[in-house]
Structure 1
Amino acid sequence: MNYKQPFYTLRLNSQNCGYRITVNGCFIEEQRHGEMNVMEYPINQWLKNGDNLFDIYHINIPTPAGITGLRNDGKLTLELCVRENSGSETTIINRTIYDGSHLKIEDDSVDYTDIEGLLSSLSTSFLTNKFDVVSNKIVPSDTGEFSIEDYQVKKGEYNHALQTTQNITLPAPFPLWRFFKADELTNHNELSDEQWEATRKNMINEVYQPVWKALRDNDAKALKALFLERGKEYDQAFYKEEGKDVYEMVVHLRSLVDNEDLSPVRDLNINACDVAVAFNNKLTWLHDWDLSLSEKIEFEHLGTDLLTSIPLKFARFDGKWEIVR
């Protein structure tokens, strides 16, 4: 293996475009308004050893013409990086550059049958075949542990805008994460109104209430039990000592509860929340309307409009719910 303890991240730099970025169907980031965004995200906890799907679902946003669509001045750079966990020198193993000025937009819409035109909005300066990383340099190799396939582009399944897909093979020394084998969940769009309402109430009662109760009681034992399975996988994903992640999580949560500048964990307004299901149909959570990555475990900073949120993702195993991310 090129790395004994590979630490993978995604670096994002965007402006004037909307998007949802997923890894293996798991939501990493979402932008709905086109503001500039410069971030880096650890992704070991979403990866598999071997083939991994990286998707960019472009979202139609308000344009200078006063309509909703893809903007000609939209730009997005997404870099897949790796370094040794204990090291500091990072290697960029894939870079996707999207430039909306290359899109052919006529009558305020994109011709999604023009695959060549869609591909012209993308560029990369990296290999699309097998390679290894030796001394932080990319070296082509017929037996390389890394490989990158060409882009696939089409009209997206989400919001009906441009979708970019790329399959990337990565060496990863951790096991297949349990959520990949979790019970299949049904997407919101496939539920009747009655099923959707029942799903929301079920999640509140069976999924969120135990977390709220443990936080309000400041119950370390209950919090540890709730986050135990998640902690085991985070220990493996980020090469921690066994038990360290759940310990850190419980300490962090209890410090929020004890903080006199924060309100108790906020009650959920059922009339202001929706159910999200990841595109792999394995993970779910509740969120605010039109904010798919917003969270429902929140502490308010007293006297301000600020919130501290705890991002949680849930999966079901043989009908039993667990916090997995």
Structure 2
Amino acid sequence: IRPVVASIKEFFGTSQLSQFMDQTNPLAGLTHKRRLSALGPGGLSRERAGFEVRDVHPSHYGRMCPIETPEGPNIGLIGSLSSYGRVNSFGFVETPYRRVVDGRVTDEIDYLTADEEDRHVVAQANTALNADGTFAETRVLARRKGGEFEAVHPSEVDYMDVSPRQMVSVATAMIPFLEHDDANRALMGSNMQRQSVPLLKSEAPLVGTGMEYRAATDAGDVITAEKAGVVEEVSADYITVMNDDGTRTTYRVAKFKRSNQGTCFNQKPIVAEGDRVERGQVVADGPCTDNGEMA
């Protein structure tokens, strides 16, 4: 067992890819965990990497964000996993598509790797559909192998994107009206959202993209109810819930803790005694959240 422990310690202690978590705000932590890197052992070095490696490639679609990457020597070598992307058991990044059968869009979802996607014709997520799931137009704008776009007949379409924000990362998907922004500015906006300092009183934005609630919950800095029940007791330090199955759950509320970056990690209950809570509902706000939404 000794050599196993030693190699684990070596990896977490000295590996280039084992990093001190960025906890400036919840989004910074979430993005850091979703980072994709071409550097490190078995990868490239900054000096060796040419322009081709760093550039955006059609196979990034839905897998790696074309916008969120650092400025400077690491540009294009460090990226961010797209909103719907996932890594499969072979270590390849897959992205989901809705299956289209005989020109009709079904609710079946297939995850495809970049090489599988190349064999199919894929329509955009915002293509107009009729109530029965057939395409409203006689020609559909779709993409073929190598990112080539053309208008095809609905019967030729094999798949359809699941969402317009499929191709961008979580941070980029939180920018409203992203399509009206210059790409360089969107890159800087995506990166600077992660640098905002948590305030004691957060206020959710008036204009959002619908990604705020999910980002806050998935970052794990808010407290969510493990089971449905009724709130029994609330104080600054803990929340007790009487669950429907007769058990009690006590949630500890973190108060003014220090994050890795020295910012304030503080949680506040947002439920009152006697309130009904469902499973997964936010019962306490974390840093940078307002009623369970990123703020």
Same fold (TM over 0.5): no
Please classify the TM superposition score into its range, dividing by the shorter chain length. Answer: under 0.3
Identify the structure with bigger relative contact order (alpha carbons < 8 Å, sequence gap 6+). Answer: 2
Task: Please state which structure has a larger fraction of its residues in strand.
Answer: 1
TM-score (norm 1): 0.26
TM-score (norm 2): 0.28
Higher Rg: 2
